[in-house]
A and B are shown apart, each in its own frame.
Chain A
Amino acid sequence: MIIELGHFALVLALLVALVQSVVPLVGAQKGWGAWMAVAEPAATAQFLLVAFSFAALTWAFVTSDFSLLLVVSNSHTLKPMLYKVTGVWGNHEGSLLLWVLILALFGACAAWFGGNLPPRLRARVLSVQAMIGVAFLAFTLFTSNPFLRLAVPPMDGRDLNPLLQDPGLAFHPPFLYLGYVGLSMAFSFAIAALIEGRVDAAWGRWVRPWTLAAWVFLTIGIALGSWWAYYELGWGGFWFWDPVENASFMPWLISAALLHSAIVVEKREALKAWTILLAILAFGFSLIGTFIVRSGIITSVHAFANDPERGVFILLILAVFMGGALMLFAARAGAMEAKGVFALVSRESALVVNNVLLAVASFVVFVGTIWPLLAEMFFARKLSVGPPFFNMAFTPFIVALAVLLPLGAMLPWKRATLGRAMRPLWGVLALALAAGALVWAMQTGRSALGPVGVLLGVWVVLGAVADLWARTGRGALADRAARLGRLPRADWGKATAHAGLGITIFAIAALTAWDTEDIRVARPGEPFTIEGREITLQGVERIEGPNYIATTATITVREGGRVFTLYPEKRVYPVAAMPTTEAAIDYGLLRDVYLVIGDPQADGAWAVRTYIKPFANWIWGGAIIMALGGFLSLSDRRYRVAAGARRTAAAVAAE
């Protein structure tokens, strides 16, 4: 019964979304207040209906209702409860329902917290948001219905793909979706502004928190996925340039660009048309990402979710929304007249360069991702584009970005002189160069990647510190330190996020340049030495887990005065008939010790792989710091001026 109610709620949600996409739009055009007012309750209703539907599906998974096809295909009674719940979105249909739920949630948030928006703009934003909802609700109901029943329910399910039975992966998709779908808000704002034919500083201010929130979630989602790959796939890789990873990385890059260009709109009323275009493209890349993942058109590690027919439907959605948006853009962009005037050397110019670099970097990823498809379609060449290409073609743009970042962040608006802006940075530059040179001298004969990474990392991180310090103005040290605490949260957010980027850049370079790998046959009780660490395989035993059978090794590591024991495993999941490798990792600030157990060899020996991964955790640490910077910026009080607006309205009413 609950299942049928869930199904029915989803159908109702589609109808509500249809109403919400038409009525407020007409109301805004004609100036009918009552019609515009439909948007808010409709957005709330749509969210509640989809939420109920999602809850119904979750209920089916939790109670292992095997009359539901989806539950049979993706669950099992013996599966731990956490994975029963996360199994809801560990498959195509369920993850789509989550997508729609988050879409409806963002729409509802715009209705609940959009009190400071002009009524027309709000009506239009909510209407565009509902149009996206209609498209995806229809997609779910007509091609990927999660509520299909089986006439004869089996006794038990087929279990979830064991690779997905992991806490890291449990929370990776929801965060990514919060990011992807969050960009729909920027899109809706852009379309509403195009319909209105007006983009001003206020628009920049409204669209920025949504973009920032989406970017923060994308950052967390991508970092979680990367961390999961690091510990789960068994050799410590953290980024594969897999089409599905690229699908999440492109919107991240574009939304980072959007975030920065919206500042120029807000502060200086320039770059308007470009910002609108970025908002459209950011969501476009989200749709392209959904298309790549859902159609499986480009084979990838994530191929558990592919189906060409659904791909065509998403392609259609993509064509309608992007085609419509870009046509509207072409017709209206001319009306976006820039106001601000600024010199060649200025914050505005620096942000333009930031945007060019981020957009081109994203373009490189895009071309590399779809090139195998294009080459096959147009040149009859079947080829691959893999990590070596991306590392070569993408990295220069990020290096350029990191080189320019500290200087660009310090430049004043309108007109700047390079010499003055560089003044607080000379010391930082000297330190960065010294650190790079020192590292280069210490590691003679190895790749230049390490020293360059150190140089860039120090430059960006200390550059962010210098930026914050410079914001405190002049005067005695104590005064400035006191002022530091009173700086706006946005300033702290900016410096924090930039520093996080510096840390991640450094960590990626350090890990790539300095990791050590050892592959050997180890005999129990006979120690071997790697970079001063004494490693001993103590023994190997067979252990039964709840829904798997494991071969577990006990390995002790003596590092300096410290001794610790790690238990790397190989697991076989009998229901899915699938083996997985569970590496054992001793996490550390400066290095991870990463152990993998292989196959039994002759006379009781085992294949053992040992990695020493320097600064591995700093990669995700940097990403989390970036996200934290985003949160700090989001909590800045100027985004809460809505409170002031409401007070004014009340005061006017009282007069």
Chain B
Amino acid sequence: MRAAAILLLAAALAAATPALAVEPDEVLADPVLEARAREISKNLRCLVCRNESIDESNAELARDLRLLVRERLLQGDSDAEVLRYVVEGDETFAGYGEYVLLRPNASGSNLVLWIAGPAMAVLGLGVAALYLRRRRAAPDPAPEALSEAERRRLDELMRD
């Protein structure tokens, strides 16, 4: 029942929204600014959607956020300043918090996330190098004699 309620809610939300992500009337006249707006949008999460950026989403809130990004760009903010504004806000606007960023900041505990891959690669290659050195140094084991059954099976295979 709960799942059905969620579906209905999602349907109601979706029905109320336009069917395009970026609407023609949002597009900025300056193509350079517009391109920057699109890049920034790809890094901002649509807060009412399931794992979509505001660049992809049809939701009303995503549209508001896209307009906000463009407004800040027109006021001369740099890309980083726009992102900081959306996250932290100012006196009049509370900001959405770091949840809105699709590329998490590499600060504090998030360093673990960013370093995990490269650290694992170094570790893996290190262990692999040790293993390979050991393999090179290992004595070649004497080949075990084949049993009668094995020899017959081998002959069978060779004939095939």
Contacts and interface: CB of A to CB of B under 8 A. Distances in A.
Whether both chains belong to one complex is answered with yes
Contact of B138 (A243, A338, A381): A338
Interface in B40-87: 42-43, 45, 50-53, 56
B136 A360 contact: no
B146 interface: no
A338 B104 contact: no
A514 B78 CA distance: 25
A577 B12 contact: yes
Interface string B110-149: 1001101100110011001001110110111100000000
A399 interface: no
B100 interface: yes
- Among B103, B114, B160, the one with the most A-chain Cβ atoms within 10 Å of its Cβ is B103
Contact of A364 (B14, B99, B117): B117
Given A270-B135, A384-B104, A386-B102, A579 B14 contact: yes
Contacts of B153: 644-645, 648
A639 to B, nearest CB: 13
> In the complex, which range does the number of interface residues on chain A fall in?
35 or more
B19 A581 contact: yes
B20 A599 contact: yes
Nearest to A400: B121
Contacts of A430: none
A539 interface: no
Contacts of A597: 19
Given A364-B116, A386-B53, A161 B7 contact: yes
A299 interface: yes
B34 to A, nearest CB: 10
Given A158-B4, A360-B124, A519-B23, A344 B113 contact: no
**Shortest beta-carbon contacts, A-B, top 10:** A386-B102, A388-B103, A598-B20, A364-B117, A356-B124, A379-B109, A367-B116, A577-B11, A578-B11, A360-B121
Nearest to B141: A339
Given A235-B56, A387-B42, A648 B152 contact: yes
B132 A341 contact: no
Contact of A341 (B51, B52, B99, B136): B136
Contacts of B14: 578-579
A360 B103 CA distance: 20
Interface of A: 73, 158, 161, 233-235, 237, 240, 242-243, 270, 299-304, 306-307, 338-344, 348-349, 352-353, 355-357, 359-360, 363-364, 367-368, 371, 375, 378-379, 381-389, 392-394, 397, 519-521, 570, 572, 576-579, 581, 596-599, 601, 607, 609, 637, 641, 644-645, 647-648
Contacts of A601: 24
9 contacts: A303-B50, A341-B135, A353-B128, A359-B124, A381-B108, A596-B20, A598-B23, A647-B156, A648-B152
A271 to B, nearest CB: 9
B128 A607 contact: no
Nearest to A648: B156
Contacts, number: 177
A607 B109 contact: no
Given A306-B3, A356-B124, A648-B153, A387 B102 contact: yes
B18 A599 contact: yes
A341 B140 contact: yes
Given A340-B135, A344-B133, A299 B51 contact: yes
B52 A383 contact: no
Nearest to A391: B103
Contacts of A392: 103
A68 to B, nearest CB: 15
Contacts of A237: 56
Chain B interface main SS type: helix
B147 to A, nearest CB: 13
A344 B56 contact: no
Given A356-B121, A578-B14, A607 B103 contact: no
A490 to B, nearest CB: 15
Contacts of B32: none
A579 B22 CA distance: 17
A634 B23 CA distance: 50
B94 interface: no
B33 interface: no
B33 to A, nearest CB: 15
Given A340-B135, A342-B136, A389-B104, A644 B157 contact: yes
A377 B141 CA distance: 51
Given A344-B136, A577-B11, A577-B12, A397 B121 contact: yes
B97 interface: yes
A519 B55 CA distance: 13
Nearest to A379: B109
A371 B111 CA distance: 11
Nearest to B152: A648
Contacts of A301: 50-52
A357 B125 CA distance: 9
Contact of A363 (B102, B116, B138): B116
B158 to A, nearest CB: 10
A307 B140 CA distance: 55
A240 B51 contact: yes
Contact of A384 (B8, B45, B120): B45
B15 interface: yes
Contacts of B113: 367-368, 371, 375, 385, 389
A577 B15 contact: yes
Contacts of A355: 128
Contacts of B22: 519
B4 A385 contact: no
Contacts of B21: 235
B104 A356 contact: no
